[in-house]
């Protein structure tokens, strides 16, 4: 990633990959997994999407990459032990969503981005952020995609050991992160590609299928043979060579966003 630009946008670390030739172009923004690749730089290496004539800006999730506490993921793991839903999953998605509008404004000030709608992409827990941007904000989006995503947060909680002790507050939180139930709001905003590894967790696979069915004609399901949940080898913090199975995911994403890119190319206002 010799041409990568790194920086911060309203406090959010990012790795930006310019389009070939640089210059003004639409924006595709991503949120990475908390499995490998678990940083913006590592996600950029796993899914560089060099074939797209857009700026690909990979944002860092809370307490990951440049925002790790004392250079490790230990603080995040402590939050998992404290309360996997209310201390870890829900706050991470909420923070990443709430900090995005200011980060987007900062990116527009720093990079030569078109003023039109953006693309959004999220992997795993980052997928829940992309889906919340679609469901809960008015930011114009020309197309979205998620990969092995946290589509129903209850399914993600079920992946952790033990029976989670739901109470009224946590029930409300987990239900608010059920994007199958919110499919109408998402479908009204942008077309969505749902990428699902055929070796991903069965619950997440089922949620991917349910979301596509609920979204209807504005969505497509792309199943990737041989893909488990991660997109990169451990430890997944630093950039690493792209895995062949990630290349298959990338090809699907490039084709999808290229198809919908015309919606991002609006007439630019005079400056």
Q: Tens digits of per-residue pLDDT, 48-97?
A: 999 899 999 999 998 665 665 666 666 667 776 779 999 989 999 999 99
pTM value is 0.93
Q: What is the mean pLDDT of residues 99-127?
A: 97
Given a contact cutoff of 8 angstroms between Cβ atoms, the answer to whether 12 and 92 are in contact is no
CA angle 175, 177, 181 (to 5 degrees): 70
The residues, any chain, with a CB within 8 Å of residue 112's CB and separated by 6 or more, are 22, 23, 24, 25, 55
* CA–CA separation, 153 and 91 (whole Å): 12
Q: How confident is the model at residue 23 (pLDDT cuts 50, 70, 90)?
A: confident
Provide the pLDDT for residue 97.
96
Q: Look at the alpha carbons of 145, 148, 154, 155 in this order and tell me if their dihedral is positive or negative.
A: positive
* CA–CA separation, 240 and 237 (whole Å): 9
Provide the pLDDT for residue 170.
97
Angle, helices 90-98 vs 125-136, to 10°: value is 50
* Three-state secondary structure call for residue 53: coil
What's 5-264's CATH class? alpha beta
């Amino acid at each position: 990633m010799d041409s990568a630009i790194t920086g911060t946008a309203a406090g959010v670390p990012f790795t930006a990959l310019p389009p070939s030739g640089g210059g003004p172009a639409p924006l595709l923004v991503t949120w990475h997994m908390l499995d490998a690749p678990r940083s913006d730089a590592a996600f950029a290496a796993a899914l560089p999407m060099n074939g797209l004539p857009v700026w690909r800006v990979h944002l860092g999730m809370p307490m990951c990459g440049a925002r790790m506490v004392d250079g490790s993921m230990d603080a995040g793991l402590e939050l998992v032990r404290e309360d996997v839903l209310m201390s870890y999953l829900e706050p991470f998605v909420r923070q990443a969503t709430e900090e995005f509008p200011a980060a987007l404004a900062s990116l527009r000030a720093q990079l030569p981005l078109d003023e039109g709608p953006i693309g959004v992409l999220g992997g795993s827990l980052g997928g829940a952020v992309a889906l919340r941007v679609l469901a809960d904000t008015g930011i114009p989006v020309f197309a979205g995609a998620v990969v092995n995503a946290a589509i129903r947060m209850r399914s993600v909680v079920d992946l952790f050991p033990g029976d989670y002790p739901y109470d009224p507050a946590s029930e409300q939180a987990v239900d608010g992160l059920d994007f199958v139930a919110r499919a109408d709001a998402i479908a009204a905003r942008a077309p969505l590609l749902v990428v699902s590894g055929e070796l991903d967790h069965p619950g997440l696979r089922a949620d991917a299928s349910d979301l596509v069915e609920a979204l209807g004609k504005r969505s497509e399901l792309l199943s990737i043979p041989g893909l488990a949940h991660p997109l990169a080898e451990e430890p997944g913090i630093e950039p690493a060579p792209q895995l062949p199975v990630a290349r298959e995911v990338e090809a699907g994403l490039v084709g999808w966003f290229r198809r919908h890119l015309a919606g991002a190319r609006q007439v630019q206002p005079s400056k």
